[in-house]
A and B are shown apart, each in its own frame.
Chain A
Amino acid sequence: MAHPSQLGFQDAASPVMEELLHFHDHTLMIVFLISTLVLYIIMAMVTTKLTNKFILDSQEIEIIWTLLPALILILIALPSLRILYLMDEVNDPHLTVKALGHQWYWSYEYTDYNNFGFDSYMVPTQDLTPGQFRLLDVDHRMVIPTESPVRVLITADDVLHSWAVPSLGIKMDAVPGRLNQTAFIVSRPGIYYGQCSEICGANHSFMPIVVEAIPLKHFENWSTLMLENS
């Protein structure tokens, strides 16, 4: 989850997010290098007493400052396209979960074997128990098995919402009447937080998303328990 004064991304919990993180580091380094170079040139230009009124053209430097930016752009574009196509790979999911956005909570449905669903409301601040996170924790988390490809189908019941979990590198709009698909694999067990990412009314800031990833054996126990209790 996010922590105070955070500057970078949250730790990646899925392979795609890891790739995005590394790509961001790579691109940001290029951007810093270019900005530093340009700033240095500006400083040098502004502080020199030298003048030259007789330069008319220079073929060599023109070639350099055309080819070098083209090369830099290619160095950015190739990893970018690689990740784009990686995210779009055909996947064969092991599990399908539906996330429905309502005003102002999410509900999750697991209907591969039984018709089983539950609502996920934010824990109000006055009801928090010690150790819980304000505005982030919910009463029922969306539980999924680790290291299994999961398909999430996202829709909304009333207005636009958006289902986002930064650690997994996912954000997908919840549109009424439309079923949007996204897929991910969670690499390690843990609890991952996100928040509704499309303005949806008064309590838009108070409908968080919590994904709990547990090993498959425990996931089977959890789903059996939830079925018995529902």
Chain B
Amino acid sequence: MSDRINEKIQNYRTAPFDARFPNTNQTRNCYQNYLDFHRCNKALSAKQQDPAPCEWYRRVYTSLCPMGWVCLWGEIHTFIYLYKNVNSDGIKLNIY
């Protein structure tokens, strides 16, 4: 199974047709692959497994999503991560 995925990733040209998103509007296609990449990473790292299969989602979202959107989501991700302990006492940064 992982051989098939590795072969698919090696022969990657561009994001293939995805039957879940057959229409003109591909916004959700881009976002779904972005989410799937991060979820895949999180799930496989939690199980201490090799996150190599997640590379497929990364290639697909990189092909589909504008670079600006990816940057913005990355910033939001970082913001949420840093400030996730906000409470009524004020902002506590999560880096300490």
Contact residues of A with B, CB < 8 Å? 90-96, 98, 100, 109, 111-112, 115, 117, 151, 153, 155, 157, 172, 177-182
* Contact A94:B14 (CB < 8 A) given known A109-B67, A180-B25, A182-B24: yes
**Count of B residues near A, CB < 8 Å?**
21
Q: Is the CB of B30 within 8 A of A179?
A: yes
> In the complex the two chains form, what is the Cα distance from A153 to B65 in whole Å?
9
> B25 to A178, Cβ gap below 8 A?
yes
Q: How many A-B residue pairs have CB under 8 A?
A: 59
Question: Are A96 and B25 in contact, with the CB atoms below 8 A?
Answer: no
Residue contacts A-B, CB under 8 angstroms, 9 given: A90-B17, A109-B67, A112-B12, A112-B13, A153-B64, A155-B66, A179-B25, A180-B26, A182-B24
Flag if B24 contacts A157 (CB, 8 Å).
no
User: Measured between C-beta atoms, what is the minimum distance from B88 to chain A in Å?
Assistant: 33
Q: Which residues of B contact A (CB under 8 A)?
A: 12-17, 22, 24-27, 29-30, 59, 62-68
Would B25 and A109 count as touching, CB distance under 8 A?
A: no
Say yes or no: A179-B63 contact (C-beta < 8 A), given A92-B17, A93-B14, A96-B14: no
Complex interface: chain A residues within 8 A of B16 (CB): 92
Which residues of the other chain, B, contact A179 by a CB distance below 8 angstroms? 25-27, 29-30, 64-66
**A98 and B17 within 8 A (CB):** no
